[in-house]
Amino acid sequence: MAKDVGKVIEALYGENPPPIMIIGHSMGGAIAVHTASANHVPSLLGLCVIDVVEGTAMDALNSMQNFLRSRPKTFKSLENAIEWSVKSGQIRNIESARVSMGGQVKKCEESATNPSVSNSSGEGIIEEEEEEQGAEESNKKRMKEEDQEVKKESFYTWRVELSKTEKYWDGWFRGLSALFLSCHVPKLLLLAGVDRLDKDLTIGQMQGKFQMQVLPQCGHAVHEDVPEKVADALATFMVRHKFTEFKEGFLC
């Protein structure tokens, strides 16, 4: 997946890509770190990782299957999925949930055949009688089949079956802190709580190897719960490292 990031940028820009900053959340943050560490983006300017730390991620893997089993398998509608994401605390911003949940679920259809309708309705044999009677019976049969046409009932289910990716989970996060610290570009770590820091990152932060900012009053989906604060943090980081300049009137 890290290689895919490099290939996409290469497909978009060819051999001379513009200066690029990579931002990733959770597993996406792990991909961003691997992409930066492997130098898949030669024009990389900076790296931002949102709420993913090796220590807490590895600890969370033990309970991940239980968490996935606790989620509803299907939703009656997209609105129902959005409502669940907010009420369950997965996302705390209804406006953001309306944007992001649509990409996490997919619409499906299943047969909703009335039990009283026999599946053998079209299997009767029309006896050979007079030509006119045969045509009449054929028409009746066709009309009956049309009346008993199976109705489709739509519902939504998860687009990706995450439980099937379990064998890859360890590889996504093991060694992530050391890789993050080894990236030779300015780094920003945005967290929902300071308790998420592991030992390597705590030492690295004290040594000034990266910039860290804690955004309280939000859940794991930091960029969804407080998008304005995340945007401000990114803007301030980019200006500080001279990736860009503030527009007139911008307040940070």
Active site residue ranges? 26, 51, 220
Strand 74-75 and strand 152-158: pairing?
Answer: antiparallel
Distances (CA, A) of 232 to 86, 89, 157, 187: 24, 24, 34, 16
Which of 56, 65, 1 has its CA nearest to residue 31? 1
For 20: left if phi > 0, alpha if psi spans -120 to 50, otherwise beta; the answer is beta
Q: Are the C-beta atoms of 234 and 252 separated by less than 8 Å?
A: no
For 142: left if phi > 0, alpha if psi spans -120 to 50, otherwise beta; the answer is alpha
Identify the residue whose tokens are 């089949």. 145
DSSP annotation of 149: P
DSSP annotation of 159: S
Amino acid at 33: V
